[in-house]
Amino acid sequence: MHKPHNTTEPGGDDTPILAMEKLCKSYWPGATELKVLRDIDLSIGRGEYLAIMGPSGSGKSTLLNMIGCLDQPSNGRYLLGGDNVSTLDDDQLSRFAMKGVQKKTKVETENTEAHREGNLVNQ
pTM of the shown model: 0.69
Say which CATH architecture domain 1-87 belongs to.
Answer: 3-Layer(aba) Sandwich (3.40)
**Is the sign of the CA dihedral 43, 46, 48, 53 positive or negative?**
positive
Q: Helix or strand or coil: residue 92?
A: helix
Q: Helix or strand or coil: residue 50?
A: coil
Judged on CB neighbours under 10 Å (0-12, 13-18, 19+), 49 is: exposed
Rg over alpha carbons for the chain, rounded to the nearest Å, is 17
- pLDDT of the residue at 51: 92
Condensed to tens digits (0 to 9), the pLDDT of residues 4-49 reads: 444 444 445 678 999 999 999 999 989 999 999 999 999 999 889 8
Condensed to tens digits (0 to 9), the pLDDT of residues 64-118 reads: 999 988 889 999 999 998 889 999 988 888 888 888 766 655 555 555 655 556 6
**pLDDT at residue 120 greater than cutoff 70:** no
Cα separations in angstroms, 30 against 33, 34, 65: 8, 9, 22
Judged on CB neighbours under 10 Å (0-12, 13-18, 19+), 25 is: buried
Burial 92-117 (b: 16+ CB within 10 A, else e): ebeeebeeeeeeeeeeeeeeeeeeee
**pLDDT at residue 2 greater than cutoff 50:** no
